[in-house]
Chains A and B, each alone.
Chain A
Amino acid sequence: MAIAGSATESASARCGPPLWLLAEVTYRCPLHCVFCYNPVDYTRYGEELTTEEWLRVLREARKLGAAQLGFSGGEPLVRDDLEILVAEAHQLGYYTNLITSGVGLTEQRIKAFKDAGLDHIQLSFQDSTQELNDFLTHTRTFDLKARVIKVVRAYGYPTVLNVVLHRLNIDHIEQILAMAEAMGVEYLELANTQFYAWAMVNRDLLLPTREQVERAEAVTNAFRQRVGDKMRVFFVVPDYYAKRPKACMNGWGSVFLTITADGVALPCHEARQLPGLTFPNVREAELSWIWNESPGFNAYRGDAWMKEPCKTCPERSKDFGGCRCQAYLLTGDATNADPACDLSPHHHVIEEAVLRAAEPQPDVRKIVFRNDKNSRALSERRVLEEPKRQ
């Protein structure tokens, strides 16, 4: 597919530093979330970066001006060198965040992270009811998470909890809020599933209805009123029910830099799936060239790549035309407006999905769990599909 890989050389002169570095240190994960944001074909990708390679990435990115660092995955805790990476990151002056399911977060490791200078821990939950949680993550992890929260607090970290909402758990919103309150959570993010990767495979089972979303939001607002300052609750409306797209990544190649487990540098953790772009690997190129000069990072910088209606839209400096990956996934062309926008000529694909969500509950047995076997199957499907796209 023709993508304006070379149209924006001039953009590189304008770009600021990559303030946020997301280190997806591994694709391995003990959980099997049905909305997992890792690529569905993660089993195809090569060897994980070594400790030394990560340390070099951290130093190079810091030199470029990165100040926020997220360790995620997969489950970052499966890497037993995480303490080393955190310690170096702290020395370098990063604000260090650990984004984890909590599986493997023993008291011993929390203590080691604290000593290494870890600033912040964000825990993710799938739901407040053990059954559904276990159904959704395919493992028995709920009690463990409750224990982890206690230890996190004991080590002086604010308790920050992220719950991914979707059709199958959003009606449990009262229990989710009550659980967070009982645990003394200080920051609760209720993030509706974004439909990429595994969530896209499972979209018809995960997209809530408009009524479900509205109800959950109303319940959340009432809860906020009641608890006041004690807990800050963020409710992220799903794209499919917003009239405008999100300002994805604050603009392509503007502040976000993701490094995948196998060393690929991406402007966003979903960008790997975009056809026609090659993203450099930190094993082969220096980060400053990758960020400032590489065609992949310049492809959608600025607005020279835009088509109508974005090209002349007064809102383009606010939302940058939305998400390139969503545009590609839903329209087949990453330079289109994000169809979540109701000005997009492709907005009907969103409306159709929303209409389907209003139909009777589809068969949950069809749900595809994130695991190696399904990843291999989906990889094969992708390989077969790819030639057709050219």
Chain B
Amino acid sequence: MADATPSLHSVPALASMFRFQWEEAQQCHVLLYPEGMIKLNQSAGEILKLCDGERDVAAIVAALEAKFQASGLGGDVLEFLEVAHGNRWIRY
């Protein structure tokens, strides 16, 4: 598999097989794919919402830090993206 370690300059986008959306009946963001549905926790949902294939990781981190009035989120975001890429939810 390709190198799964993202950098701040990587530009993540949702892999084409997935559909990402807020699911009212589940009260959470989900990823839909041919075999089923992955329920996401809040932070995973917030990060994936920003994986639009245009923003790079640095911009995603900045947007999240602004939204949640926090700092130092970079490590957590990179860690999640690595897992997400390992699961083929996203591509760069």
- Give the interface of A toward B (CB within 8 A): 17, 19, 64-65, 67-68, 93, 95, 97, 119-120, 122, 156, 158, 160, 229
Contacts and interface: CB of A to CB of B under 8 A. Distances in A.
Interface of B: 1, 16-17, 19, 21, 23-26, 30, 32-34, 36-37
Contact of B25 (A17, A97, A156, A229): A17
Given A65-B25, A95-B19, A229-B1, A19 B37 contact: yes
Listed residue (A17, A19, A122, A160) with the most chain B CB atoms within 10 angstroms of its CB: A19
B32 A67 contact: yes
A67 B17 contact: no
A19 B36 CA distance: 9
B23 A120 contact: no
A64 B33 CA distance: 19
Contacts of A160: 34
A65 B32 contact: no
A156 B34 contact: no
A68 B32 contact: yes
A158 B15 CA distance: 11
A120 B25 CA distance: 23
Contacts of B32: 67-68, 95, 119
A229 B88 CA distance: 12
17 contacts: A19-B36, A19-B37, A64-B25, A65-B26, A67-B25, A67-B30, A67-B32, A68-B32, A68-B36, A68-B37, A93-B21, A95-B19, A119-B32, A120-B34, A156-B16, A160-B34, A229-B1
Contacts of B1: 229
Given A68-B36, A97-B34, A156-B16, 11 more contacts: A17-B25, A19-B37, A65-B25, A65-B26, A67-B23, A95-B19, A95-B32, A95-B37, A119-B19, A119-B32, A120-B34
Listed residue (B19, B21, B26, B33) with the most chain A CB atoms within 10 angstroms of its CB: B19
Contacts of A64: 25
